[in-house]
């Protein structure tokens, strides 16, 4: 899901990319959470982006 999101983002299909990044992030993938945060930041959604960055950090801590 994350990889598909990246491919779509590279093609300029940001809305569709966000959909797939969000699915991967909701499934618990910390890399997708960070990637989603980047897309959200680019769109000006800094508050939600910060939330995803925090979640990615927490998932990363519990994974070790």
DSSP letter string over 5-51?
Answer: HHHHHHTT-HHHHHHHHHHHHHTT-HHHHHHHHHHHHHTT-HHHHHH
CATH, domain range 2-62: 1.25.40.10
Domain residue spans in the chain? Answer: 2-62
Give the contacts of 34 (CB within 8 A, at least 6 positions apart): 52, 53, 56
Q: pLDDT digit string (tens) for 19-62?
A: 999 999 999 999 999 999 999 999 999 999 999 999 999 987 76
- In this predicted structure, the answer to whether residue 64 has a pLDDT above a threshold of 90 is no
Question: What pLDDT shows up at residue 60?
Answer: 77
Q: What is the pTM of this model?
A: 0.88
Question: What pLDDT shows up at residue 24?
Answer: 96
- In this predicted structure, the answer to whether residue 63 has a pLDDT above a threshold of 70 is no
């Amino acid at each position: 899901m994350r990889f598909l999101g990246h491919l779509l983002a590279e093609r300029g299909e940001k809305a569709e990319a966000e959909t797939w990044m969000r699915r991967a992030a909701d499934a618990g993938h910390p890399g997708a959470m960070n990637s989603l945060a980047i897309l959200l930041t680019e769109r000006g959604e800094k508050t939600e982006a910060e939330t995803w960055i925090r979640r990615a950090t927490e998932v990363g801590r519990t994974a070790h």
